[in-house]
Structure 1
Amino acid sequence: MSAPELSEAAGATAGAKGDGPAVSAPTNSAYGYYVVGVLMVAYMFSFIDRTLLSLVIDPIREDLGLSETQISLLAGFAFAAFYTLLGLPFGRWVDTRGRRNLIAVGIALWSLATVFCGLANSFWRLFAARMAVGVGEATLSPAAYSIIPDYFTPQRLGFAMGLYSCGVTLGGGVAMLIGGVVVQWATTAQPVLPFVGQVSAWKVPFLVVGFPGLLVALLVLLTVKEPPRRLERGGAASVAPKVSEVVAYLWAHRRVFAPLFAGFSGIVITGYAFNVWGPAYFMRVHAFQPAQVGLLYGVGFGVFGTLGVLAGGALSDRVAKGGKHDAPLRVSIWSAVVQAPLFIGAYLAPSATVAAGLFIVALFFGSVYGGLQAAAIQALTPNRMRGQVAALYLTIANMIGLGLAPTWTAWMTENVFGGPQDVGKSLAMTTVISLSVGVLLLALALKPAHRQIEELL
C-alpha cells in the first residue's frame, strides 16, 4: 500500500502555530535529508552537553568533595528529572503547535545551561545547571520524532531516523574527543578567562562547547521549514487528539506498547551506564589519561557507533521491504544479543588493549538500535499523536535509563564490589541484567507489533 501523500490542507489544519505556514516538502527530497542533517547536528550538541560530565567525574568529585552517589545524581537524576517531567507537555505542544520554534528555543536554553555548568562552584549550583540542560533537551526528540516522518515514506523512515540518531554517537564521540584534549590542556595551562578569572580544568570544556550551540539554534530557526503533517489512513485530517484519547489508544494496545517501552528502556540502561561510568572505568582501572579516553570514545562511539546506527537503519529497511514490518524490533533484539558478551568482556578484561578493542566493537552493536526505537514507535502510532507517544516513551526510557543506570551502578560499586576501582564489575552486572530483561520484553512485543503495524499501513 502506498504511503499517504503530504497535504497543504493537513498542514493548515494540524498547523504550525507560531512557526509560520506549513511548507510543502516532497517526500524523500534532498531538503528532507537536509532537515534530518540539521536535527542530527542539534542532537549531537545535545548529547555533547549531556555526557561531557562523565569525562570529568573524578576532577569534579575531588574539587567539590563529592561522593560517588552525588556524582551519579549530577550525571543522571539532575538531568533526567526535568527532562522527563517536561517531556509530556512538550509532546503535547508538538502535536498541537509548531515544532521548529520549539526546537530552536530548546537548543538555546540547554546551550546556555551548559555554560553555567562551567561556572558552577558548588554541588547545588551544578545540580541546578544540569536540571536546566534537561529542560532544554526535553524539547528536541519529541519534535524531531514528529517532524521527520512528515518528510519520508515508511520504507525510508528507518534510515532517516537512524541518521538523526547518529547525533548520539557523534555527540558522544566528539564530547569525549574534544573534552579529553581540552581537559588535559587546561590541567597544564591553568587558563584565566575574562570576567571569570582562573578556572578549574574540568570547567573549561563546558564553556568551550556551550556557546557554539547558540549558532545551531539560529541555524534551525533560519533554515528549517515546518512541513505539513501527513494525512491519516483514509484521508482524515491530522488533528491532534486529546490526552485522554492518547491514553485510551495506548491502553487498547498495551500488549505491544508496555513490553516495547520497557524492553527498549532496558537496553537504554546499558547505554547510559557506559556513557556515564565508562570513561571513569578506563581511567581508574587501566590508567588512561583524559585524552586517551577521548580518543577511545572518538573512534569507538563517534566512528563505529555511527556506523552501527546507520547499519541498523539500513538493515531494518531491508528487512521491512521483505514484508517484515516489525523489522526495527527484530534487528534491535539481535543487536542486544551480540553486544552483551562484548561489553561484559570489555569491563572484565585485565588487559587495557583487550578491553579497549572489545569496547569499540561493542559500541558498534550497541548503537544499532539507536534509530530503530524511534522507527518502531512511529510505525505503531498514528501521525496525529506521535509527539505525545514519543514524549511518553522518552520520559519512561530516560527516567529508567538515565535516572537509574548511573546511581544503580554507583551503588553497586560502593556497596557490593568494594570501591571505585571495581566499577568495571558494576558495569558488567548492569549489562547482564538490563540486556537480558530488554531482549525478553522486546521478544514479547513482536507478534502484537506486527499486527498493529499492518492495521496502520
Structure 2
Amino acid sequence: MVLEKRFPSPRYAWTLVFVLLCASVVSYLDRYILSLFVGPIRAELALSDTQVSLLQGVAFALFYAVMGLPFGRLVDRYTRKNLIVVGILVWSGMTMLCGLSTGFWQLFFARMGVGIGEACLGPAAFSMIADCFPHERRGRALATYNMSNYVGVGASLLFGGLIISLLSHGDVAGFWHGDSLSGWRIAFVGSALPGVVLAFVVLALKEPARTELMRSRAGATSRVVGLWAFFRARKRAFVSIYTVYALTAMVGYMIVAWAPSFYMRHFHMRPADVGLSMGVLAIIAGVGGCLSSGYISDRLIASGAHGGRFRIPLLWWPIALMSIIGMTQSPNAAASLVFLGLLTFGSALGLSSAPAVIQDVVPNQLRGQAAALHFIFAGLFGLSLGPTAVAMVTDYVLHDPTRVGVSLLVVIAPLSVVGFIACWLGQSHYHRIRAELLSILETKIDNSLPPGEHVNGERGMEQQVR
C-alpha cells in the first residue's frame, strides 16, 4: 500500500520561512548588540580590551559551536519548532541578563547563554524548511532564510554608523558619559523583547512532516542513522563540501573584521561613513546574492546539471578573486566600494547554497547534525583562523598597519584558488552520493511536478511504501 503525504501549502510554507527569517535576524541583533556599546560597557564595568574581546568572541562563539552538534541530534529526533522556541527564550532571556550584569563574569556567562540559545536555530530551521518544499524549490526557500546573515549584519552596521554619527555631533554625548550609562542596559533589554514575541509566533507554527527518511534493511523507517558511519562511506564528498563552505565563511569573516579598518586606514574614511556604506552594501548586495543563489540553485536541479547545486561555488570563487583584487587595488574609495559590493554579492551567492547542498545529500535523520557541522566548521575555522591570518600578515610580514588591504589580498587570493579546486574536485563525488541517496530514501521527488501534485509509483513526490 502506498501512503501519500502532501507538502504544506506554498502560502504556509513561505510563512514559515518568513517567521524563521525574522527569528534569525533578531538573533543577529542580540548577537552583535554588544559591539555597538563597547564604550559605555567598558566605562561602567571597568573592563579591559582583552575582556571585551572575550565577551565578543570566546563567550559567544565557542559555546555556539560546541553546542551545535548536540542540538543537531535533538533536531533530528524531536519536535523542531519546540526546540526553536526554547532556544529563542533562552537567548532572549540571556540578552536581558546581559543588560542587568554588574561585572565581567556575569556578562561572560550571560553571553555564553546567548550562544547556547542561538545554536539551535540554524539546524532546526534548515531541517524544517527542507521539509516544506519539494526538491526543485528548496534552494530558493533556504537561500531566502539565509538572507538573515546579511540583513542582520547590515542592520547592525547601519545602526552602529548612525550611533557614531550622532555621537560625533555631540547631540547625545551624555549617552556615552556620566549619568546616562544605563542606555546600554536599556538597549540590551529592548533588543531581547522581539525574541519573546517571536517565540510565541514560532510556537503557533505547524511542525512539518519529515520527508526523505532512510529505511532500515528490513524496509522500516530507521529512526536513528549513524552520522559518522554515513559520512565515512562518503568522506570525499563531505570533505569537499565542508571545506568549500568553511573557506567561504572564512572570507566573509575576514571582510567583516578588516574591511572597515582598510577603508579608514587606506582611504581615510570616517568611521560613521564606513559603517553606513558597508551596511547598505551588506543588505543590498547580500540579499541580491541570496536571491540569485536560490534561483540558480533550483534551475540547476531542474536542468539535471551534473553536480547540482554544488556548482554554485564554482561561480563564487572567481568572483572572490576578481573582487578582492579590485577592492584593494582601486585608486579611490568609491571604486573600491563597488568591488566590495561585488564581493558581498558573490559571498552571499556561494554561502547561501550551503543549506540546500547539505540537506540534499543527507537523510532526514541527519539533517540537523549535518547543518550543525557546517556551523561548527564555519565558526571555529572561519572565525578563528580568518581574521587572525590577516592580522598576522599585517603585523609580522608587512609590519605596517596601513597595508591591511595588501594582507586581505595575500590571504584571500590563494584561498579563492584552493576553494575553487576543492569544489571542482568534489563535483563527481557530490553527484554520486546524491544519486545514491535518492535510490535508498523512502521519499522520492519528481522534479517535473509542481508542488501539491502526486503520482503513484517509485517517483511519487512523497510516498511511504509498505
Question: Is this a same-fold pair by TM over 0.5?
Answer: yes
Once the two structures are overlaid, the 10-residue window that deviates more, 228-237 or 171-180, is 228-237
Specify the code of the residue in structure 2 equivalent to 1:339.
A
Alignment match, 1:256: 237
SS of 2:30's partner is helix
Aligned: 1:324 with 2:305: yes
2:223 to 215, 235, 240: 240
Which residue pairs with 1:17 in the alignment?
none
Which of 200, 212, 228 is the equivalent residue of 1:218?
200
TM-score, length-scaled by structure 1: 0.83
Code of the aligned partner of 1:388: Q
Q: Report sequence identity in percent.
A: 36
Question: 1:40 corresponds to which residue?
Answer: 21
The answer for the alignment partner of 1:110 in structure 2 is 91
Determine whether 1:395 maps to 2:376.
yes
Structure 2 letter corresponding to 1:260: I
Query: 1:185-200 residue pairs with structure 2 within 5 A?
Result: 185=166, 188=170, 189-191=172-174, 197-199=179-181
CA distance in 2, matches of 1:211, 1:286: 39
> What's 2:49 paired with?
66
For 1:240, give the aligned amino acid.
Answer: R
Distance 1:258 1:352, change over 3 A: same
Match of 1:444 in 2: 425
Q: How far, CA to CA, are the matches of 1:111 and 1:191 in structure 2?
A: 28
> Is the aligned partner of 1:182 residue 2:163?
yes
SS of 1:367 mapped into structure 2: helix
* Alpha-carbon distance in 1 for matches of 2:267, 2:317: 26
SS of 1:337 mapped into structure 2 = helix
Match of 1:11 in 2: none
CA-CA distance at 1:31 after TM superposition: 0.3
Determine the C-alpha separation between the residues in 2 that align with 1:433 and 1:206.
40
Residues 159-178 of structure 1 deviation map (CA, whole Å, 9 limit, x = unaligned)? 11101101111111111112
- Please report how far the alpha carbon of residue 261 of structure 1 lies from its aligned counterpart in structure 2 after TM superposition: 0.8
Distance 1:129 1:56 in 2: 16
Q: Does the Cα contact within 8 Å between 2:8 and 2:208 map onto a contact in 1?
A: no
Asked if structure 1 preserves the Cα contact closer than 8 Å seen for 2:214 and 2:364, the reply is: no
2:410 to 407, 418, 429: 429
Cα deviation for residue 85 of structure 1 reads 0.7
Aligned counterparts of 2:404 and 2:186: Cα–Cα separation in 1 = 26
Deviates more, 1:210-219 or 1:369-378: 210-219
> Within 1, Cα distance between the matches of 2:418 and 2:429?
18
Distance, in Å, in 2 between the alignment partners of 1:276 and 1:120 is 27
Distance 1:365 1:61 in 2: 36
The aligned runs of 1:259-274 (5 Å cut-off) are: 259-274=240-255
Give the deviation of 1:313 after TM superposition.
1.0
Decide which moves more: 202-211 or 183-192: 202-211
CA distance in 2, matches of 1:186, 1:221: 40
Please say if 1:358 is aligned against 2:358: no
Structure 1 position 26, deviation (Å):
3.2
Query: Kindly tell me: are residues 182 and 192 of structure 1, through their superposed partners in 2, closer, same or farther at Cα, counting changes over 3 Å?
Result: closer
The SS at the match of 1:428 is helix
Q: Following TM superposition, by how much is the alpha carbon of 1:427 offset from its aligned partner in structure 2, in angstroms?
A: 2.5
Q: CA deviation at 1:215?
A: 2.4
Relative to the length of structure 2, the TM-score reads 0.82
How far 1:394 sits from its partner (Å)?
Answer: 1.8
The alignment's C-alpha RMSD in Å is: 3.2
Give the letter aligned to residue 196 of structure 2. L
Q: Does the alignment pair 1:418 with 2:399?
A: yes
Query: Does the 8 Å CA contact 1:262/1:397 hold for their aligned counterparts?
Result: no
Choose from 345, 351, 355 the match for 1:370.
Answer: 351
Structure 1 unaligned residues grouped into runs of 5+: 8-24
- Structure 2 gaps of 5+ residues are 439-466
